[in-house]
Chain A
Amino acid sequence: MTTTDNGVNVQALLDAREALKGAPEAAQFTWRATSTWKNGVHSTTTIQNFFGLGQEQSHKTKTEFTADHPEIFAAEDNGITPIEYLLVGLAGCLTAGVASVAQNRGIQLRSVTSTVEGNHDIRGILGADSDVRNGFNDVKVTFAIDADASREEIEALVAQSQKRSAVYDALTNPTSVTVEVA
């Protein structure tokens, strides 16, 4: 029997699951981003610190994300649009899920690529038609996975990754959002 190595430390995740069953307060995480307006519709958002396991935590490095709009929106296109970041988040989350579930199921991955498409009727954000929503009309993710597994097993991997995906849940289910002026 060969050892599966997708680079995911599944044992650590399983241990954490067991440990947190008895310590729900340690499972409460707060993810944070800090955003600053630059000019026009250009802003930068930095992420470094978060809260979890009962204390302040920090990423190894600070990451800066630049958001802007494309030139066809009469903007400078210093970076991707904010709604494209949702695609980044969804792809990253589902891919992490595929790798983790494959590891746990003993499936060796050779390559995982995906294409994420969000269809968006911009009449909503422009206020051109009040019946058109502001967000995506629908999102489609297409995975191409090369692995030591049957098609059925691969489809099951993808299904399970959606079932345990934070970003998939955040996009498909309503979330209470509070926006205040400090």
Chain B
Amino acid sequence: MSQRVTTVVIGAGHAGLAASHFLSERSIDHIVLERGRIANTWRRERWDSLRLLTPNWLNRLPGHPYGGPDPDGYMTAGQVADFIGDYATVTAAPVRENTTVTSVRRTDGGYQVSTGEGDLDCATVVIASGACNAPVVPECAAGVPDGITQLTPFEYRNPGSLPDGGVLVVGASASGVQIAAEVRRSGRPVVLSVGEHVRLPRTYRDRDVLWWMDATGVWAQRYDEIEDLARARRLPSPQLVGEPGTTIDLNALTGLGVEPVGRLAVIRDGAALFSGGLRNVCSLADLKMRRLLAGFDEWAGIGDDPAGFEPTRIPAVPRLRLDLRGGEITTIIWATGFRPDYRWLDVPVVDEKGRLRHDGGVVDSPGLYALGLPVLRRRRSTLLHGIEDDARFVARHLAERLTPRVVA
């Protein structure tokens, strides 16, 4: 027999726990299901050196500010997991760990959530299972010759765990640039394949660039005020690393000796072929960064040119072809993005691209909600401190939906 509960929250990361906080505040009985341990992804699916990109002073969850000794530092993955774990404790969240959801389907009264540990019947479901459940690897990976080690950021741990030899890192968002830098510092030759990317300095005019994002209100921009929401939602993560004062843009990487090449177009006859458009993706990133920094200056009433701005330097003749059979490259790291996994969701609310159809967290099926997805309700939605507004809204919408049932 199924257990009954008003709301099931799927996922005990920061988003699921924030939802739990606001549901508790409204006395809505609920259970938070977690496939592993609380903050599982931060404990298991991250490389050793990863730190949060947001400085500690900015990291807070609803009613739970950062209270540690290093407000300008950046948490390690383990510290993030502990921060989220502490939040679960102080909010007394009703979390059921090691409980994997195998299916969610509609019923007359709401939803049935099946798990390896039994079924739950509920009126409403909050999907907080994360936006990055699986790495995305392009189809052309099938053409990689045998003998080359291929890793995604889920499997990569540190440079010491790689075979000797050169490394091709595909993708120049946060994951790709961080991995490329540390692999290069270990002494290996590194080729970095660069497509469209978001360039940011770590600090701008002596403040963390994320201070500017926060202070100027860029991050607070609402999803329904953004002209091209689909584009905003698939924006690559910025080229940032959680190291005080350390900028990790392409200029920094070429300074370390990383060789940038264009977007990986195809692997043919054992050779990787790169787009000849490297110059343009770098120009686009420079233009967008300059516009962002100029916007900060405008907000601050500073009339100068953006400080410390130097266009991205690229090789005069970027390499277009890399032989993967010649021994130069022994490892390929696919830092080509992540996707959510909704294979367990037996409700027709996932589009042809595997994305959840929702309007600001209200999923296109009555009583179904989402949290923790990119630009869910604001640009800051996926950040720790960005969850508060979103979770408060979703809890209110969910409560208003339940009210008529209570009255009836």
Residue interface bits A140-181, CB-to-B below 8 A is 1, else 0: 000000000000000000000000000000000111111100
- Residues of B within 8 Å of A175, CB to CB, are 276, 320
Residue interface bits B266-301, CB-to-A below 8 A is 1, else 0: 000000011111111000000000000000000000
- Residues of B within 8 Å of A179, CB to CB, are 279-280
Q: Is A173 a contact of B277 with CB atoms below 8 Å?
A: no
User: Which residue of B is nearest A131, CB measured?
Assistant: B353
User: Which residue of B is nearest A175, CB measured?
Assistant: B276
- Residues of A within 8 Å of B274, CB to CB, are 174
Interface SS of A by simple majority: loop
- Residues of B within 8 Å of A113, CB to CB, are none
Which B positions have Cβ atoms within 8 angstroms of A?
230-231, 234, 262, 265, 273-280, 317-318, 320-321, 353
Per the 8 Å Cβ criterion, residues 70-113 of A in contact with B are none
Give how many A-B residue pairs fall within 8 Å (CB-CB). Answer: 31
Nearest chain A CB to B278 CB, angstrom units:
7
CB contact between B279 and one of A131, A173, A174, A178 (< 8 Å): that residue: A178
CB contact between A130 and one of B234, B262, B278 (< 8 Å): that residue: B234
Q: Is A177 a contact of B234 with CB atoms below 8 Å?
A: no
Other than A174-B276, A177-B277, give 6 A-B pairs with Cβ distance below 8 A: A130-B231, A174-B262, A174-B275, A174-B320, A175-B320, A176-B318
CA distance A141 to B317 in the complex (A): 31
- CB-CB under 8 A for A174 and B265, given A130-B234, A131-B353: yes
- Residues of B within 8 Å of A174, CB to CB, are 262, 265, 273-276, 320-321
Q: Is B273 a contact of A173 with CB atoms below 8 Å?
A: yes
Nearest chain B CB to A147 CB, angstrom units:
30
- CB-defined A-B contacts under 8 Å, sample of 27: A130-B230, A131-B353, A173-B273, A173-B320, A173-B321, A174-B262, A174-B273, A174-B274, A174-B275, A174-B276, A174-B320, A174-B321, A175-B276, A175-B320, A176-B262, A176-B276, A176-B278, A176-B317, A176-B318, A176-B320, A177-B276, A177-B277, A177-B279, A177-B280, A178-B279, A179-B279, A179-B280
CA distance A175 to B320 in the complex (A): 7
User: Which residue of B is nearest A173, CB measured?
Assistant: B273
- Residues of A within 8 Å of B265, CB to CB, are 174
User: Which residue of A is nearest B266, CB measured?
Assistant: A174
Nearest chain B CB to A175 CB, angstrom units:
5
- Residues of A within 8 Å of B321, CB to CB, are 173-174
Nearest chain A CB to B66 CB, angstrom units:
36
5 tightest CB-CB pairs across the interface, nearest first? A176-B276, A174-B320, A175-B276, A174-B276, A177-B276
- Residues of B within 8 Å of A178, CB to CB, are 279
Nearest chain B CB to A143 CB, angstrom units:
23
- Residues of A within 8 Å of B234, CB to CB, are 130
CA distance A130 to B228 in the complex (A): 12
- Residues of A within 8 Å of B280, CB to CB, are 177, 179
CA distance A130 to B234 in the complex (A): 10
CA distance A56 to B87 in the complex (A): 74
CA distance A174 to B273 in the complex (A): 7
CA distance A12 to B344 in the complex (A): 69
Nearest chain A CB to B198 CB, angstrom units:
15
